[in-house]
Amino acid sequence: MLRQFSLRAKLRLINLVALTALLVIGISAIEARRSSMMEDVRRQLRDQMSIVFSMLDHYRLQAESGALSTAEAQQRALAQLRSIRYQDKEFFSVGSMEPVMLMHPAVPALEGKNFGELRDKNGKAFIREMLDKTRSHGSAYVEYWWPKAGETAPSPKLSFARHYAPWDWLVNTGMYIDNINRQFYRDSIWFVGVLLLVSLLVTVLSNLLGQSVLSALQDILTRMRAVEETGDLSQRFPTERRDEFGELARGVSSLLGSLREAQTELRQHRDSLEEMVQAQTQDLRQAKEEAERANAAKSLFLSNMSHELRTPMHGVLSFAKIGEEKAQLLSTSATPARPDMERLSTYFQRIHSSGARLMNLLNDLLDIAKLESGRMELNLQPLSLNSCIQQALQEFEVQLQTRQLSIALQLPEADCSLLADHFRLGQVVRNLISNAIKFSPDKSEISIRYHCSPPDAAGTANVELVFADQGVGIPAAELESVFDKFVQSSQTRTGAGGTGLGLAISREIVQAHHGEIFARQRPPQGSEFVIRLPVSMPSATQTTQRN
């Protein structure tokens, strides 16, 4: 429940409780002091009364023993009582229970008179009360107001009355208690003063304490709100205080420190995550582009392939049909005409060339299938590169002449000794010459050169073979992709002719020889294909290993 109140209200509550407790303790103490003083007075009255009763007994016994008459004993007792004083001026009075005053040293005029109806300034019939109580209890204390001897103004007084049964007397004595009341007032005033002083001190101290606590709390709260609103974890807290607030501020500071570290770590993670996601997105994008390229290449390959297959097949079928009809006609003719015979021969040539073209295509497909399954075997033999190139060129003699293409050969006099598979390396050389012819304009020049480099630091000598043409060239971005299967350069992609397998097969063969093949642009016009092969090979016969 206390949690619902503010700190200031709680401090006020503590003040109130403390002051109330002080008030209760103070009042009780004053009350106790007054009671003890009153008890002191009562004891004195009782003691004095006991002495007087002993004296009365003395006279009564004298009367009973016959030494004195009862009246005489009573007279002597009253005379002695009249002269008794204690505490300076306190005295005893004696009356009968009727009540008639028998002896009153202070107001002798009362003697012989009925004093039962005497009242004090407040109208209190104190004699009646005294008689009633004494009759039932034997003695009684009664408080009332009565003037002191020689004074007219009444003062508070405590009287003690006791019944002396043998003579049926009411013996009374009293003491003024105005000094006790005065002491009570003095005590009360002193206590109120102390109470006021203490409450002032407590209020001031609790206000100071509250102020200090609240300002420290307010300070911390303001800074925490600033952290909450701005998210700025570098906010400073007043850690120099040595009390609990200093400790709290130090705790919050270290908490913010930990949060700062966690935030930095989180930011780093987020950044690296972003980089990772970016890298992965990039990879995915590349993979997607590659897949799209592969798909486009596949579509192109299918269209090329169907063209490549259909054209020679169509040629084979058409010329076979025409040849068949011609042959039937000639068989019925007794003397076949020479032009007819020549035409028949041309048809067979066409059938042969179309079949050869088909054969080449099938060979390429079989080669790539073999290479893909890693089952191509190389038969490595010492090879003369000069004669390999010369042999290949001979195969293209007719085409070169028809297209009026010149070949510039730069071959070293001393042949480089190579270990290579004659057929496969010849296949590579033929493919490169064929491409150079295919993509060169008429009457241009194709250059073929090679040289052997001296052994490098690892002891490996290389031969570098270059096929350069002045043809359409290959865009820089496609220099590598033309070696992919079924891929053709954007410069030469016509939709007719070429399967895009020749360079892929060539690269497989060269790599199987531990060499490399690549393309580059030839300024100002054309392209160059470069083959690098190690001069010495590790073993005489080996099988290509593909993953």
Task: Fill in the DSSP letter of residue 90.
Answer: B
Q: How far is the CB of 449 from ligand ADP (least distance, A)?
A: 15
| 448 makes contact with ligand ADP (CB under 6 A) | no
Closer residue to ligand ADP, CB minimum distance, 102 or 392: 392
| CB neighbour burial string for 364-389, b if at least 16 within 10 angstroms, e if fewer | beebbebbeeeebebebeebebbebb
Which residues ranging from 342 to 361 are in contact with ligand ADP (CB under 6 A)? none
What residues are paired with 304 via a beta bridge? none
Closer residue to ligand ADP, CB minimum distance, 223 or 485: 485
Closer residue to ligand ADP, CB minimum distance, 354 or 499: 499
Please pick, from the candidates 492, 521, 525, 542, the single residue that binds ligand ADP as defined by CB under 6 A: 492
Give the separation between CA 88 and CA 105, rounded to whole angstroms.
14
Q: In this chain, which stretch among 98-106, 124-132, 435-443, 532-540 interacts with ligand ADP, using CB under 6 A?
A: 435-443
Give the separation between CA 541 and CA 532, rounded to whole angstroms.
20
Closer residue to ligand ADP, CB minimum distance, 162 or 507: 507
| 498 makes contact with ligand ADP (CB under 6 A) | yes
Please pick, from the candidates 93, 354, 499, 544, the single residue that binds ligand ADP as defined by CB under 6 A: 499
Please pick, from the candidates 436, 452, 463, 517, the single residue that binds ligand ADP as defined by CB under 6 A: 436
Please pick, from the candidates 472, 479, 530, 535, the single residue that binds ligand ADP as defined by CB under 6 A: 472
CB 203, CB 19: distance < 8 Å: no
What residues are paired with 465 via a beta bridge? 450, 531
| 482 makes contact with ligand ADP (CB under 6 A) | yes
Q: In this chain, which stretch among 100-108, 180-188, 234-242, 432-440 interacts with ligand ADP, using CB under 6 A?
A: 432-440
**What binding mask, one character per residue, do residues 372-411 give for ligand ADP by CB under 6 A, x or -?**
----------------------------------------
Helical H segments across 231-243, by residue range: none
CB 171, CB 53: distance < 8 Å: yes
Number of residues that bind ligand ADP (CB under 6 A): 20
CB 99, CB 168: distance < 8 Å: no
CB 510, CB 533: distance < 8 Å: yes
Give the separation between CA 331 and CA 325, rounded to whole angstroms.
10
| 463 makes contact with ligand ADP (CB under 6 A) | no
| 435 makes contact with ligand ADP (CB under 6 A) | yes
One-letter amino acid identity for 263? Q
Q: Could you tell me which of 529, 395, 515 has the C-alpha nearest to residue 467?
A: 529
Strand 406-410, strand 377-384: pairing: unpaired
| 469 makes contact with ligand ADP (CB under 6 A) | yes
Closer residue to ligand ADP, CB minimum distance, 203 or 492: 492
Closer residue to ligand ADP, CB minimum distance, 157 or 357: 357
| 426 makes contact with ligand ADP (CB under 6 A) | no
**What binding mask, one character per residue, do residues 65-104 give for ligand ADP by CB under 6 A, x or -?**
----------------------------------------
Residue with tokens 């007032």: 185
Q: In this chain, which stretch among 68-76, 88-96, 227-235, 487-495 interacts with ligand ADP, using CB under 6 A?
A: 487-495
Give the separation between CA 547 and CA 537, rounded to whole angstroms.
21
Closer residue to ligand ADP, CB minimum distance, 248 or 309: 309
| 427 makes contact with ligand ADP (CB under 6 A) | no
Give the separation between CA 534 and CA 341, rounded to whole angstroms.
54
Residue 123 CB neighbour total at 10 angstroms: 6
**What binding mask, one character per residue, do residues 513-532 give for ligand ADP by CB under 6 A, x or -?**
--------------x-----
Residue with tokens 């109120």: 192
| 501 makes contact with ligand ADP (CB under 6 A) | yes
> Which residues lie closer than 8 Å to 540 by C-beta, 6 or more apart?
380, 381, 419
Give the separation between CA 378 and CA 542, rounded to whole angstroms.
6
Longest dimension (CA), the chain: 217
Q: How far is the CB of 504 from ligand ADP (least distance, A)?
A: 6
CB 519, CB 482: distance < 8 Å: yes
Closer residue to ligand ADP, CB minimum distance, 90 or 528: 528
Please pick, from the candidates 158, 503, 510, 537, the single residue that binds ligand ADP as defined by CB under 6 A: 503
| 471 makes contact with ligand ADP (CB under 6 A) | yes
Q: Write the CA distances from 215 to 7, 205, 245, 411, integer angstroms.
A: 12, 15, 10, 98
Residue with tokens 């390429």: 364
Closer residue to ligand ADP, CB minimum distance, 378 or 504: 504
| 489 makes contact with ligand ADP (CB under 6 A) | yes
Question: Strand, coil or helix: what is 246?
Answer: helix
Give the separation between CA 8 and CA 10, rounded to whole angstroms.
5
Q: Could you tell me which of 155, 200, 153, 152 has the C-alpha nearest to residue 174?
A: 155
| 431 makes contact with ligand ADP (CB under 6 A) | yes
| 48 makes contact with ligand ADP (CB under 6 A) | no
Q: In this chain, which stretch among 63-71, 255-263, 312-320, 495-503 interacts with ligand ADP, using CB under 6 A?
A: 495-503
Closer residue to ligand ADP, CB minimum distance, 74 or 431: 431
Contact residues for ligand ADP (CB under 6 A)? 431, 435-436, 439, 469, 471-472, 474, 482, 488-489, 492, 498-504, 527
